[in-house]
Amino acid sequence: MNRFLLGAPALFTLLSCASAGPSQPPAAAEVRPAPVAPEIQRVVAVQEARPTRKQVVRQIVPHNVRLVVSEGGKARRSASGVVIGTEHTEEGRFSYVITNAHAVDMDGLKAPRMVITQENRAEVTEFPVEVVATGKVPEMDLALLRVPGVELSRAELAEDEELELGEDVVVAACPFGKSLSLSGGMLSQVEWDPESREPRMVKTDAPIGYGASGGGIFSLETGKLLAIVEGYRTAKVGFAVADKDYSFDVPMPGETFAAPTSKVRGFLEAKGFGRLLSRSLEGSSGQTAQR
C-alpha cells in the first residue's frame, strides 16, 4: 500500500509530461541591421550619382565649335570657340560664341567669310557668324560672335572658387582646322590678381596644337567651362640636313595658358553683353541646333 502511494506522484508527473507533447524550441531573436548615419547615406548617394568620364565628355562636346575664315573659297585661318549664351529677341533667335580676338583679325584679307561648324559624326553643319565684340590683344584676347537663327548648346561657366591646382580637365578644340579633338590634363597653374582677388590666368599641361586658340578647358568632374585657351609657349627646335638648316616650334608641356571664366564674365559685361550670363537666357541649352 505504502509502495503504491509513494509511486503515485512519480506516475502523475510522467503522465503530465506525456500529455504536454514535445517541447518547442525557443523563438529565434529578431536581428535588426545597425542604423546608418545620415551623413554616410548622403555620401553614398553622391558617389552613386556622379557621372562617368564618358557622360561628362558627351555633355561637353556640343558646346564647342570650329571657326573658319575663308577667302575666295579657300580657308585662310581656323580656330576654336565655345557657345556661352543664347537668347530670343524681336529679331529672332541668336547664339553667342566666345573665341580669341586674334582669331577674328581680318587684316590682310580683302573679302573674308567667317563661319562656325559643328559635327555630329559624319554630319557637318555650317553657320555664318558676325563679330559683335572684340578685346584688345594681349590684355583681353577675347571676341564674341553672334550666330543668327539657331539655339546651340550653351556651356555653364564655373565660379572662381572652382579653379584648383590639380583639377582634372579636358581641352576641347579643333587644332589644325580639323575635327573637334579632346586632350586631357590638369590645371597646372592658377595666377590670382592680388588686388581684385580674381584669377587672371590659368595654365594646363594638356597638349594642344595650332588652331586650338579659343577652345574650352572644362572640368572633368562637373563639365563646367573653366577657361578659354589663348595660346601656348613654344620652344624652337633646329637641325641641319645636307648643309641646310631647318627649325620648327614645339609646344612646351604645361605652358598652355588661358583666360579664366572671371575674365570672360568681365569681357561680356564691359561690352554690354552681361545679360548672357543670366540663366534665364539659356533658351534651349542642351538641345541640338535648329534652323
- What is the per-residue pLDDT across 102-123, written as a single tens digit (0 to 9) for each? 999 998 899 999 999 998 888 8
Q: Give the per-residue pLDDT at 158.
A: 97
Calpha distance 231→47 (Å, rounded) = 36
pLDDT in tens, 148-194: 999 999 999 999 999 999 999 999 999 988 999 999 999 999 999 99
204 burial via Cβ count (<10 Å: 0-12, 13-18, 19+): buried
Calpha distance 101→271 (Å, rounded) = 13
Q: Quick check: 209 and 251 in contact, CB under 8 A?
A: yes
Calpha distance 99→181 (Å, rounded) = 16
Higher pLDDT, 161 or 32: 161
Beta-sheet strand order (sheet of 123-128)? 123-128, 113-120, 64-71, 74-89, 92-99, 143-148, 130-134
- With cell 554616410, the residue in question is 40
> Which of 4-18, 120-134, 243-257 has the lowest average pLDDT?
4-18
pLDDT in tens, 270-282: 999 999 998 644 4
Q: Give the per-residue pLDDT at 287.
A: 41
Mean pLDDT over each residue of the chain, to the nearest integer:
83
Higher pLDDT, 150 or 1: 150
Predicted TM-score (pTM) of this structure:
0.76
Given a cut of 70, is residue 91 above it in pLDDT? yes
Q: Give the per-residue pLDDT at 59.
A: 95
Q: How confident is the model at residue 99 (pLDDT cuts 50, 70, 90)?
A: very high
Domains and CATH numbers, the chain: 53-281 (2.40.10.120)
Q: Could you tell me the three cell numbers for 3?
A: 509502495
Q: How confident is the model at residue 27 (pLDDT cuts 50, 70, 90)?
A: low
- CB-CB neighbours of 150 under 10 Å: 21
Q: How confident is the model at residue 28 (pLDDT cuts 50, 70, 90)?
A: low
Q: Could you tell me the three cell numbers for 62?
A: 556640343
Q: How confident is the model at residue 67 (pLDDT cuts 50, 70, 90)?
A: very high
CA angle 71, 76, 79 (to 5 degrees): 125
Given a cut of 50, is residue 4 above it in pLDDT? no
Q: Give the per-residue pLDDT at 45.
A: 52
Q: Could you tell me the three cell numbers for 149?
A: 537663327
Q: Give the per-residue pLDDT at 225.
A: 98
Mean pLDDT of 4-14: 46
Rg of the chain on CA atoms, in Å: 34
Mean pLDDT of 197-211: 91
Q: Give the per-residue pLDDT at 183.
A: 94
Q: How confident is the model at residue 46 (pLDDT cuts 50, 70, 90)?
A: low
Q: Quick check: 141 and 100 in contact, CB under 8 A?
A: yes
Q: Give the per-residue pLDDT at 237.
A: 73
